[in-house]
Structure 1
Amino acid sequence: MSVAAPQDGPWLDDAAGRLVRPYTVSNGRTKPSAPLDLLSLVMPTGALPAGQLGPEHSQALGLCDGRPTSVAEIAAQLRLPAVVTKVLLADLVDCGALTAKAPGFRHHPTDRSLLEAVLDGLRRRL
């Protein structure tokens, strides 16, 4: 069994995929403590998280790299379900390491052009 390279993240195996179920990352929690949706933007505050957080928390914080980043982008980079990513990001908001901002809609959130723009942005990032 060959374990994936570190850039693929911990707990990945080339043949088997993720070795740890996604919901163990969030300790089984499925409801974030902060109101986040896929288009919410999070940004690091510069404060270090207080307490012990998991490696996925550190990865999520590292993906923000000083600019507003959407929950959807972070979920795609972490290869985690959106609800698990929201829980991780809410933990970081709660400890003061991130701020979150709801998106300002010029369009309806299910507007086709908006969804296509999000998809194009995700494709460019991946």
Structure 2
Amino acid sequence: MNDGPVERTSPIRPYVITGGRAESEGEPLAWESLVMATDAPFPAAMQPEHQAILHHCQGLLSVAEVAAHLGQPPAVVQVLLSDLHQWGLIVTRPPIAPAERADVTMLRKVLRGLEARL
């Protein structure tokens, strides 16, 4: 007997959700890209998945987080986000590039200076 919650997969297949599209229009969003819903009104006749994305994206979320909330593969969410972006219902921000590594010798000098003052 299993006491935990039973996870169920959606009866709707991913290719149905995307209308048979396997790729988004243009450059696909990176999983780390941030998305946020705009204040633009959206039509009530939208797919439930599009509406769910807009509901979750009231603040900044990454593409991977949106996929987790929807329980869909990131590739499916990338297609849906591409639709929303084309319709002007979300704004996107590319991932922030990793910072360059600081010079360790400079950090050691700063540390020694701070230790000398203590």
TM-score, normalised to structure 1's length? 0.67
Task: Name which of 9, 22, 38 aligns with 1:17.
Answer: 9
Structure 2 residue 87 is matched with structure 1 residue 95: yes
Residue pairs, 1:36-115, within 5 angstroms: 36-50=29-43, 52-65=45-58, 67-106=59-98
Q: Distance in 2 between matches of 1:15 and 1:32?
A: 28
- What's the % identity of the aligned pairs? 35
Note the C-alpha offset of 1:16: 5.5
Q: Distance in 2 between matches of 1:98 and 1:21?
A: 24
Structure 1 unaligned spans of 5+: 1-13, 109-126
Counterpart of 1:61, as a letter, is L
Distance 1:15 1:105, change over 3 A: closer
Note the C-alpha offset of 1:68: 1.2
Note the C-alpha offset of 1:82: 0.7
RMSD of the TM alignment (CA)? Answer: 2.1
TM-score, normalised to structure 2's length? 0.71
What is the aligned partner in structure 2 of residue 113 from structure 1?
Answer: none
Aligned residues: 94
Query: After TM superposition, what 4+ stretches of structure 1 lie above 4 angstroms from structure 2?
Result: none
CA contact (8 A) 1:71 1:82 kept: yes
Counterpart of 2:11, as a letter, is L
What is the aligned partner in structure 2 of residue 117 from structure 1?
Answer: none
What is the aligned partner in structure 2 of residue 116 from structure 1?
Answer: none
Structure 2 unaligned spans of 5+: 1-5, 101-118
Q: Relative contact order, CA 8 A, sep 6+: which one is greater?
A: 2
Considering only CA atoms, is the larger Rg found in Structure 1 or Structure 2?
Answer: 2
